[in-house]
Amino acid sequence: MILSASRRTDIPNYYAEWFYNRIKEGFVCVRNPMNPHQISEIRITPEVVDCIVFWTKNPLQMMEKLDKLQAYSYYFQFTLTGYGKDVEANLPDKKTELIPIFQQLSKKIGKERVIWRYDPIFFSDRYTAEYHLETFRAFAEALNGYTDKCVISFLDLYAKIRKNMEGLSYYELEESELKVFAKEISKIAEQNHISVDSCAEKMDLEDCGIVHNCCIDKGLIERLIGCELKVGKDKNQRAECGCVESIDIGTYDTCRNGCAYCYANSGVKNVEMNTAKYDPASPLLCGCIGEEDKVTQRKVTSLKEMQLSLFDL
């Protein structure tokens, strides 16, 4: 099993204590987003968890206790963009705080296990193509030697985030303009020994030096664990997504980063209501199991392919 922690919320930033408690207890409970009274109890011991993929904008709260994960393989997707507090309201300063945290994490666990995400990219009167290129260059130079890969994507304007974006003078570029921009991004990254992949992009950017990415990356995980995995594409993700199957243990409407482009939150009030229920000792993230809830143990197993093939002989 591959554990995703999490596409739905920033667990390392806000719920590190809860996560470490779940590791200690060896199980976690997750509500079905489509049927809230249906809860899965999931075993998360080292015997069944092949890798943990963390998604975060600030892993500082998790970094002091990474020794508790010695029995697990894991890597971080670290989002670091050039937006200010008008877009990412609750994040610390990028240059003075988050870049040093990125560097510190890389030194601690190795640059292959810290993937830089400069996404999603959108353009506005403030965040022009020129602004992004200048910021990307500064970040790439600072992260040179601290990561092998950067992942980019262009913003998909979902209905739930359209209202949040209204005050930001958002505009779209033509595909030809996007390709010129992407080629510059690739060039800057290459100068700093960083490869660039795209995340769930319909547009083909290979002629710009950018290939489609797999955030839950079978190849990377196999290199980290030294074993092949028997796992297929995640059918619950978009067609353009190259990720393999994983189990997400996050909860929607619980991320406090305050990003205007966030697809995982439906509104500030819902976030406030849910985060008020946070209990680090609960098996559920931001909530407790009630009388009307039905808890079912989810069958999980390791995906490691232990049998030798003819090519291994």
Residue 48: DSSP 8-state: T
User: Residues 186, 210: contact at Cβ < 8 Å?
Assistant: yes
Task: State the pLDDT confidence band at 257, using cuts at 50, 70 and 90.
Answer: very high
76, exposed or middle or buried, with CB in 10 Å at 0-12, 13-18, 19+?
buried
- At residue 310 the predicted structure's pLDDT band, cuts being 50, 70 and 90, is very low
Selected residue with higher pLDDT from 188 and 157: 188
The dihedrals phi and psi of 218, each to the nearest 5 degrees, come to -60, -45
Distance CA 301, CA 44 (A): 10
Number of structural domains (the chain) is 1
pLDDT tens digit sequence for 38-73: 999 999 999 999 999 999 999 999 999 999 999 999
Query: Is cis: bond before 198, omega within 30 of 0?
Result: no
Q: Which domain holds residue 205?
A: 2-312
159 pLDDT tier (thresholds 50, 70, 90): confident
Is residue 251 a contact partner of residue 216, using CB atoms and an 8 Å limit? no
Query: Rounded distance, CA 46 to CA 63, Å?
Result: 19
